[in-house]
Amino acid sequence: MKKILRPLYAVAILSISLCTDTFAQKNWLDESFGRKGILRYDDLTLTKDFDEAAAVYQEDKLLVLGVDTSNRANGFTMVRLTNDGSPDYSFIPRRIIETDSTDYYTQILVTSDKKIVLFGMKNKPSQDYEHTILRFNQNGLADQGFGSNGLVTIPRDKNYIEQLHTAAIQPDGKIVCGITAMDLRTTYDAEPKLNKITFFRLNIDGSNDESFGNGGTVSYEISYVNPELSMNLQQDGKILVGGAYTKNWSTNSIAITQIRLNSDGSMDDSFANNGVLELTYHDLEIDTTSSKVRFVQNTVFLDDNQMMYTVTECPNMGPYSDCVSKIMRLKADATPDLDFRINYDEVSTLPYADYGYTKTSDNNLLLKDEFGFRKIKLDPSKISIVANIQNEQKALFKPYPNPSNGSFVIDNAMSVQQVILTNSLGQKETFDDASNIQTQMKGLLFATIETENGSYTFKIEVF
């Protein structure tokens, strides 16, 4: 029997409705933020180019940076929101910098005196590029006391593929940055090689801090980490940096790297193995017996030095839609918290992670995904919860055929209690017989399949 439910009137509500019952029970999203935990890019009139959208908390206010797509000129626009995601009307959205088509900013930080700092890169002729740091006052004008008209450029080492993706601002206003550098002879499929991380520290005026490392710069050879580093300044002035090794199938391959520096840039030998901690997939108790491609990404430190990260596994051959991710963490003592994980599809409409995280002002997690930002509550009472939807079990209930003309069945239909279809308008259809589904709705649909052991959501194309 088919039952027609009344349509939902907000697209944001649709995003919530696509989640499973298990997600509703765990309630990882902080519903006091945005629309039921979700803040859409559309609500901010910012770009949907996710690589160029960034956010940071200034005390309890959220600053969001994005490319201004309202006209043909390139430029970055910033808005400020209250802690619940609503507009802060005391702050006028502003176009903070005119750029050319080669500018690219991926991180935003705030100094103690409320100046705003952007980190990115500028492409140059002959496929070259340089790292850039821009500081401007709260009124959106370049800080003339920093570098040249508010801009500091850092040439790259042409012998390496470099990424500047992590930085922190000390209480005294000095800026510490970390650049990952991969030897050009290294390929992604190679065994781990000793590449390097280069750290540098700038004075308040943008000049090199001669008291740090060797004239403001220090480099350390280390097993390859991906560009998505995270940096945390400790109260004693030490610098904790975490990253992740990508793409290797071996049980003993390095999955996570942490290093800790003293305030002068020297390695802190009291931390781990002479300042370096390396954890393998085996240490994280990740099954590597299959031929799946797996990698760790999206590392971010919380205030208490716990490091959140994502483990993603994909078929050796297949689309991204078949990848699955879990949000996991290291404890403050850098040991894996094996009792904590969140299936990625419990907090996003995607089963796999493709974007990053930001630490919130209340030491929770802000997830950047394909729609916008989602605030995740890391409630201590939920620490021991482990996701109970197993991917192997989910595969038992796939729709077939997909795409279809509106007529399809669900594998193992006898074990399915109900199927709920939802279209882009929020309209729903409910079916009690999974062996004979006939729908008049067209386009991309979401099918929520309810079974005795849980609920599973799939994307369905109907032509």
- pLDDT value of position 6: 32
Task: Supply φ then ψ for residue 23, to 5 degrees.
Answer: -60, -40
In angstroms, rounded to a whole number, what is the distance separating the alpha carbons of residues 442 and 277?
52
| pLDDT value at 308 more than 70 | yes
| pLDDT value at 152 more than 90 | yes
| pLDDT value at 70 more than 90 | no
| pLDDT value at 425 more than 60 | yes
What are the residues whose beta carbons fall under 8 Å from the beta carbon of 68, sequence distance 6 or more? 46, 47, 74, 75, 76, 77, 95
Is residue 375 a contact partner of residue 37, using CB atoms and an 8 Å limit? yes
> What is the CA 24 to chain-centroid distance, rounded?
22
Whole-structure pTM value: 0.73
The more confident residue out of 452 and 421 is 421
| Cis-peptide into 87, omega within 30 deg | no
What are the residues whose beta carbons fall under 8 Å from the beta carbon of 190, sequence distance 6 or more? none
Question: Where are the domains positioned within the chain?
Answer: 2-8+394-462, 27-387
Q: What is the pLDDT of residues 324-378, one digit of tens each?
A: 999 999 988 899 988 888 989 888 888 888 888 999 998 999 998 777 899 999 8
Write out the two tokens for 340.
């904590």
Q: Are strands 254-261 and 239-244 parallel, antiparallel or unpaired?
A: antiparallel
**Left, alpha or beta for 31 (phi > 0: left; psi -120 to 50: alpha)?**
alpha
Give the CATH number of domain 27-387: 2.120.10
